[in-house]
Amino acid sequence: MDSIVFVGRQLSQSTDPSMRLIYEKMASDDITECMFTVGSLVSCVTCFDANIEGEVIAFDYTKRLLVLKSNSTDGKANLNDITCLNLDCVKDISVKREVKREDVVNNLTQLPQINTAKVEDRYRRAVDERRRLTEAFNAGISSDGIKLWMTLNKSLRDLGVVWEAENIVIDNSIRVEPPYKSDNCFSVKNRGSPDGSVKQIKKLVDKFWSDQKNASKGGAAQPVVKSANNVQPTDKPPFNNKG
């Protein structure tokens, strides 16, 4: 799937002449002078001094939101990186190749197709994951247990990784009990899990703990698990126009 990056941090004031010109145009009555047309090639320098170049696929004038598509950073030709830029967080911007506005109006510039069903499925999965995290917090699950669940859920999402009380259950057939080490992985009785599957889960659990140990030794930042008591997910998918 395409990777999506959001860049957002408020700049108190932009001193770059090109950005001042953009904001002056945005404040004027004629907003067409500062619109980025779909298909144009734009280069930006963010407040983090990161250089981002890509093709414009969307621009929201009222939100100061610019969406760029660029080649995938992992080198896969069938994927793209999608970057959402808040223009309040951009120090410099230049248009390297501009598409005429009339070409966009006359549909001469083809927009990328969006699989809305896939987007809605990912949305529902994310909401479901947040709910499960909330339930885990409320049940008093340890932070290590929650981190392991997040890791397994990311790797084995299609199999289904759920909580049963304080136990992690994978594919309705393998159970990982506290303190969530490989020795705590068991086949669930009467659910027919092959021995090879249990061994595979044990390897994933061992790798999780090894990564945690290495990260701790190297002083790397640990994943932060925050309270989810105030999480209030919505059931409304992004493309549901029925209200």
Helix (H) or strand (E) holding 72: none
Task: Provide CB contacts within 8 A for 2, sequence distance 6+.
Answer: 72, 79, 80, 81, 82
Summarize the confidence of residues 215-234 as an average pLDDT. Answer: 55
The answer to whether residue 15 scores a pLDDT higher than 60 is: no
**Which residues sit opposite 80 in a β-bridge?**
71
User: What is the rounded distance in angstroms from the CA atom of residue 18 to the CA atom of residue 35?
Assistant: 14
Summarize the confidence of residues 151-171 as an average pLDDT. Answer: 88
Summarize the confidence of residues 215-229 as an average pLDDT. Answer: 57
User: What is the rounded distance in angstroms from the CA atom of residue 110 to the CA atom of residue 104?
Assistant: 8
- Bigger pLDDT: 193 vs 52: 52
Summarize the confidence of residues 143-159 as an average pLDDT. Answer: 89
Predicted local confidence at residue 147, as pLDDT: 93
Predicted local confidence at residue 183, as pLDDT: 95
Minimum mean pLDDT range among 113-122, 159-168, 177-186: 113-122
Domains of the chain: 3-113 (2.30.30.100), 117-218 (no CATH)
Helix (H) or strand (E) holding 209: helix 195-218
Cβ atoms of residues 192 and 173 within 8 Å: yes
Closest CA to 41 of 12, 64, 66: 66
Tokens found for residue 175 = 């159970």
Helix (H) or strand (E) holding 160: none
Predicted local confidence at residue 113, as pLDDT: 72
Predicted local confidence at residue 149, as pLDDT: 92
Minimum mean pLDDT range among 66-70, 89-93, 107-111: 107-111
Handedness of CA 125, 130, 136, 141 (dihedral sign): positive
Cβ atoms of residues 63 and 2 within 8 Å: no
**Which residues sit opposite 84 in a β-bridge?**
6, 67
Predicted local confidence at residue 115, as pLDDT: 80
Cβ atoms of residues 116 and 65 within 8 Å: no
Output helix, strand, coil percentages for the chain, rounded to the nearest 5.
35, 25, 40
Minimum mean pLDDT range among 59-73, 189-203, 212-226: 212-226
**Which residues sit opposite 71 in a β-bridge?**
80
Handedness of CA 2, 114, 5, 146 (dihedral sign): negative
Q: Which residue has the tokens 């090894």?
A: 210
In tens, the pLDDT along 123-144 reads 888 888 888 888 888 888 999 9
Helix (H) or strand (E) holding 69: strand 65-71
In tens, the pLDDT along 76-96 reads 888 888 899 998 888 888 889
